[in-house]
Structure 1
Amino acid sequence: MAEADAEAGGLQRTLKDLVAGAAGGIAQVLLGQPFDIVKVRLQTTSQYSGALDGATQIFKNEGPLAFYKGTLTPLVGIGACVSIQFGGFHYARRQFEARNASIHPTNPTLSYSQYYASGAFAGITNSVISGPIEHVRIRLQTQPHGHNRLYSGPIDCVRKLSAHEGVLSGLYRGEAVTILREAQAYGVWFLSYEYLMNADAKRNLVKRNEIPQWKVAFYGGLAGEMLWLSSYPFDVVKSKMQSDGFGPNKKFASMRDCFGQTWRSEGLRGFWKGIGPTLLRAMPVSAGTFVVYVCSYLVVKR
């Protein structure tokens, strides 16, 4: 009976994590999409001298709505992704807590390596859907403007990508580097946030739920900066592979080939193109994600 109650309680907590995470994901997309299209353009082309020039040219040549190109896919998909991220993280965290409790009953608290592992687990789990979602978004963001468009929308893009090389090689192109990026990024994201929250609670002798919302936002924002600083080269390679051509127009044979070509042609700098708008985006987006998640979790908990 006790085990059944525990399982039901665990399932209920996971469902709350998923619902709250979905709300955080929607906030993430609405706040970050304009920054993201500039980042992707800088990563995949050399037609802009920098972030400001990229944003100016997009606005001038394609209009203000261009900053929300491909938004429908991430709006639906990233909500699901962030939902999985938080659900996966807290599931792994509870598994570590149960294991720790069996070894040290008086102190089941996670070590920081376990926080990282929980975040990495969440990222790897999330990559199953984030890979194709981001591939479609990048194709829509980088396609020619106006009558030369390659895809009429997300569904058409999925259909054409799958038709080129099949689902695994077409729609799931770049999945290996996506898994590496997600594991590193979300391992560091959750680790940074948990460290900052725990340090504040210890320093001020308060419970974590007593930490004010502005601090939750600030720590979430800092965690977002750490996420990108720790994983950005993987993201550049992923964007290059997912905007690459097909058949005779394909430049990169594999993830390793893409890393090699980027290094030979652009050097170390090539792995950090677009980092400026990415870091500008990271603070408000990550802050908003954590605040909306915490608030949504409290509402669902009632």
Structure 2
Amino acid sequence: MVAGGNSKSDISFAGTFASSAFAACFAEICTIPLDTAKVRLQLQKKGIAGDAIGLPKYRGMLGTVATIAREEGLASLWKGIVPGLHRQCLYGGLRIGLYEPIKNLYVGDNFIGDVPLTTKILAGLTTGALAIAVANPTDLVKVRLQAEGKLPAGMPRRYSGALNAYSTIVRQEGVRALWTGIGPNVARNAIINAAELASYDQVKQTILKIPGFTDNVFTHLLSGLGAGFFAVCIGSPVDVVKSRMMGDSSYTSTIDCFVKTLKNDGPLAFYKGFIPNFGRLGSWNVIMFLTLEQIVTQELAKGWLMV
């Protein structure tokens, strides 16, 4: 998937994990304001018709970013960055680091030719599910911290920071609470991971067959945008359910959250925050894949990531 040519098969798992974790963390730092806007839009519920108080507070990606910055300060846009980086170190490193080994496992050692798209999707589903099963606590804390800003003025905040959030959740809700929303989160991340990695892999493979195109930054840019678009289109409904379950403890299960969201807010609620979500995932994928490709290309040349 990265660093075109036969040399990519010589990259060690540790090297791929480290490179992927760094690239994912860099992309996270650059795009978390858009993720904060997305979470706020997804958690926002429909107001009562005709009631001025019920008018939506957040409107659109840029409007939401501006509202948060104006009312809570610019730093609030980076709320959840610490658990976000925790998440990317674990989730980003594992899902990308395991992708090539799992894909090769599915096709077998003697396979020759282009790997089928279905196999790429299956590999993406597998690594996404495995990685988020490990990283779910970091995702939960990140969403909880991002949701803090929507509490009414004067109401005490539940958490003073990421480490405090981990300990408070364990103390008040139990260790199992760290895996709240694991069902929709596994579904969401398996689906989005498959959409991202398989589409990036497939788009890049297709582009490289077009005369005049080479394995360069422009190809990586187009492939990253394609990966982000497919990921948002496919993953938005489960992403909304995941965010609502993690940010609001009133839901008893994934089905309960899905049914209540559909009943109270309508089917379009599952695509709430679509624009900021695409802005987030599209830019995130471009930054992450560009960074990863450059790291792997440079380090392969130095021989630091070899088996």
Report the CA distance between 1:171 and its aligned residue: 1.1
**Distance in 2, Cα, partners of 1:85 & 1:21:** 9
**Distance in 2, Cα, partners of 1:11 & 1:125:** 23
**Distance in 1, Cα, partners of 2:247 & 2:10:** 39
- Per-residue displacement from partner, 1:14-71 (whole Å, max 9, x unpaired)? 1121011012111221121000111101111244241233222211111111111111
Q: Does residue 71 of structure 2 align to residue 76 of structure 1? A: no
The residue number in structure 2 matching 1:216 is 220
- Per-residue displacement from partner, 1:113-136 (whole Å, max 9, x unpaired)? 000011111101111233211110
Report the CA distance between 1:164 and its aligned residue: 2.9
Paired letter, 1:83: G
- Give the structure-1-normalised TM-score: 0.87
Kindly indicate which of the two structures has a greater share of residues assigned to helix. Answer: 1
The structure 2 residue matched to 1:225, chosen from 229, 238, 245, is: 229
The residue number in structure 1 matching 2:187 is 180
- Equivalent pairs counted in the alignment come to 280
SS in 2 for 1:25: helix
Matches within 5 A, 1:254-265: 254-265=253-264
The residue number in structure 2 matching 1:131 is 136
Select between 10-19 and 287-296 the one with higher mean Cα deviation. 10-19
**Distance in 1, Cα, partners of 2:9 & 2:198:** 22
The structure 1 residue matched to 2:206, chosen from 194, 199, 207, is: 199
**Residues 260 and 67 from structure 1, CA distance in 2 versus in 1: closer, same or farther, beyond 3 angstroms?**
same
**Uncovered stretches (5+) of structure 1, i.e. residues with no partner:** 1-8, 246-250
Paired letter, 1:191: A
The residue number in structure 1 matching 2:105 is 95
Matches within 5 A, 1:1-302: 13-46=12-45, 47-51=56-60, 52-99=62-109, 101=110, 107-143=112-148, 144=151, 148-168=156-176, 170-204=177-211, 210-245=214-249, 251-301=250-300, 302=302
- Per-residue displacement from partner, 1:204-258 (whole Å, max 9, x unpaired)? 277xxx422122122112201111110111010011110113xxxxx21100111
SS in 2 for 1:179: helix
SS in 2 for 1:86: helix
Paired letter, 1:179: V
**Distance in 1, Cα, partners of 2:15 & 2:235:** 28
**Distance in 2, Cα, partners of 1:231 & 1:188:** 8
Runs of 4+ off more than 3 Å: 9-12, 144-147
RMSD: 2.0
SS in 1 for 2:12: helix
Select between 170-179 and 210-219 the one with higher mean Cα deviation. 210-219
**Uncovered stretches (5+) of structure 2, i.e. residues with no partner:** 1-7, 46-55, 303-307
**Distance in 1, Cα, partners of 2:113 & 2:226:** 27
CA contact (8 A) 2:107 2:119 kept: no
How high is the sequence identity, in percent, across the aligned residues?
22
- Give the structure-2-normalised TM-score: 0.85
**Distance in 1, Cα, partners of 2:208 & 2:69:** 44
Select between 40-49 and 232-241 the one with higher mean Cα deviation. 40-49
CA contact (8 A) 1:135 1:173 kept: yes
SS in 2 for 1:110: coil
CA contact (8 A) 1:98 1:108 kept: no
CA contact (8 A) 1:220 1:287 kept: yes
